Homo-oligomer: A and B are copies of this chain.
Amino acid sequence: MQWKAKVEVTLKKAVLDPQGAAVEKSLQALGYDGVSQVRVGKYIELNLEANDREEAAARVEDMSRRLLSNPVIEDYSYVLQEAGL
């Protein structure tokens, strides 16, 4: 069975996010005041084979930890859905 995973990788809260800071300043300069706490991370989409949701989740979990995120500075979260195949 084909699954689609959408993984969001974000910098850990305590880790400096210079990119987020620059975007935040820029948005404010563009007149969007009231914008705050901007963080920039990664978004990864992929399809995978797995027999059931549990197996798919386990594999995505595994990939996210090993490759898609850098656990030293990043956290991740994901959603899984059946791929419309």
Contact = CB atoms under 8 A, between A and B. Distances in A.
Nearest to A9: B43
Interface of A: 6, 8-10, 20, 23-24, 26-27, 30, 32-50, 59, 62-63, 66-68
Copies per assembly? 2
Contact of A66 (B30, B34, B38, B62): B30
Given A23-B68, A59-B32, A63-B27, A46 B37 contact: yes
Given A9-B43, A42-B43, A48-B32, A67 B26 contact: yes
A59 B31 CA distance: 11
A52 to B, nearest CB: 14
A35 B47 contact: yes
